[in-house]
Structure 1
Amino acid sequence: MIDGIRKVLDEKDSLREEALKITREIVRLSGDSIKALHRGEKELAQWRIKEVRKRVEELNEKLQLHPDLYFTGYVQNAHQEFVEAVLFYSYITGSEFPSPEELGVPEANYLLGIGDFIGELRRHFLLLLMDGRIEDARRVYETMSEVYEELMSLEYPKGLVNIRQKQDQARYIIERTLEDLTRAKLTKSLEEKLNNALKK
């Protein structure tokens, strides 16, 4: 009996190590694709996401018969990073947002990725503000608000999906973003008034 248990657990431990390696690659490639998008390198980002998709499919295949390994924190985190990268790529390129089924991830992990997506939109928003593109930044804020409202409409227990944490983070991000946008608009208005006064 012990020998049989040892054999099963040895195989599972080996599979777990393989899964950990794949999830690390998913996280790294997802992060690389997001960085590429912020630099305006859409083709590179697209290639990275294709590579991530392959890793996600490989992970799903390896853990298909092992739900005890599939529904773990490290797999969930990898899925979140993947969803965040794909949603951000879709937003930047004006593509339709893919569904959880199309990405091959559980619905709960997809929702958590949406929460991270809001944070990435804020970074994009700040980069636009730094470039003086206030109107473009405003449109990003509007998208953030729409996603936030949808996210806030979900009420589930933590045991099913820990969405409350993402909602709290999103609320804080939205509030800060609105403050930044308001401040930028006021500053621009004052600059315009000052310039007009100097011209006169």
Structure 2
Amino acid sequence: MDQLDNTTDQIRAKFEQVNAARDQAYQRSRKLISLCARSIRAIHREEWQTAETLIAEAKSATDTLVAGVKDHPNLYFAGYTQDAVKEFVEANLTYALVRGLPLPTPDELGTEGNTWLNGLAEAATELRRRILDIIRHGHSDEAERLLDIMDQIYSQLVTFDFNDSITGGLRRRTDTVRAVLERTRGDVTNSLRQAQLEAALKNVENRLRE
């Protein structure tokens, strides 16, 4: 029975190691999600320096999170780990899309392809908030540019017709992008019509004054 004791002790020690890594990963994922949320808030406020600083901190937090679970694939691919990394992708892509910069690739961000695509989907929905902020001050070409980007993203996402076990639930997020895109297109169209109407009225006023 000594062999039984030794074997179970080894298994218990391994479980304790994995459990400690899990608890640590969970705490680190929460910190990462918080950093990403704050960076996206800074982006919408056009606080570019703050956003860049927070994204840099999120990069360090992501590296730390991934390093802590690299020897435990079940923890690396766990929902809370990949969800946190997805938020990191979303923050980076939202910043790039809003600023008109090239999109960082999965390799550049150190993420899985399906995590990157899910982050892209959520970044697309963030553009709605940006567009609404813009059109509150009147219609602009920037709103149309961002709407076109949303459309392009959706057009790409909808082509990934694979099982959710492969894409990480991308289909559901793609459906969300479609719904957000349709509502945003309606908002931008109404904004454009209002701008055209205001321009026409102003033109009539100018003629009457002449």
Q: Same fold (TM over 0.5)?
A: yes
CA-CA distance at 1:6 after TM superposition: 1.8
Counterpart CA distance in 2 for 1:176 and 1:31 is 23
CA-CA distance at 1:194 after TM superposition: 2.7
CA-CA distance at 1:193 after TM superposition: 2.5
| 1:165 maps to which of 168, 172, 175 | 172
**Could you tell me which residue of structure 1 aligns to residue 67 of structure 2?**
61
How big is each residue's C-alpha offset from its partner over 1:134-154, in whole Å with a ceiling of 9 and x where there is no partner?
321111101111111111121
8 Å CA contact 1:125, 1:140 repeated in 2: yes
Counterpart CA distance in 1 for 2:87 and 2:125 is 12
- Supply the RMSD in Å over aligned alpha carbons: 1.3
How big is each residue's C-alpha offset from its partner over 1:57-90, in whole Å with a ceiling of 9 and x where there is no partner?
1112111110011101101111111001001111
Counterpart of 2:150, as a letter, is: M
* Greater Cα offset, 38-47 or 92-101: 92-101
1:195 aligns with 2:195: no
| 1:174 maps to which of 170, 181, 205 | 181
SS in structure 2 at match of 1:156: coil
Consecutive unaligned residues in structure 2, runs of 5 or more:
1-6
Q: What TM-score do you get using the length of structure 1 for normalisation?
A: 0.95
Counterpart CA distance in 2 for 1:166 and 1:78 is 16
8 Å CA contact 2:39, 2:54 repeated in 1: yes
Counterpart CA distance in 2 for 1:153 and 1:160 is 14
Counterpart of 1:174, as a letter, is: L
Q: What TM-score do you get using the length of structure 2 for normalisation?
A: 0.90
**Could you tell me which residue of structure 1 aligns to residue 24 of structure 2?**
18
Structure whose alpha-carbon radius of gyration is higher: 2
Counterpart of 2:179, as a letter, is: Y
SS in structure 1 at match of 2:16: helix
1:104 aligns with 2:117: no
8 Å CA contact 1:56, 1:104 repeated in 2: no
Sequence identity, in percent? 32
1:82 aligns with 2:88: yes
Counterpart of 1:175, as a letter, is: E
8 Å CA contact 1:134, 1:181 repeated in 2: no
8 Å CA contact 2:164, 2:170 repeated in 1: yes
**Equivalent residues in 2 for 1:70-149, closer than 5 Å:** 70-149=76-155
8 Å CA contact 2:139, 2:192 repeated in 1: no
8 Å CA contact 2:90, 2:120 repeated in 1: yes
SS in structure 2 at match of 1:160: helix
Consecutive unaligned residues in structure 1, runs of 5 or more:
none
Counterpart of 2:53, as a letter, is: W
Counterpart CA distance in 2 for 1:92 and 1:134 is 14
SS in structure 2 at match of 1:159: helix
Counterpart CA distance in 2 for 1:15 and 1:46 is 29
8 Å CA contact 2:89, 2:116 repeated in 1: yes
- 4+ runs deviating over 6 angstroms: none
1:185 aligns with 2:192: yes
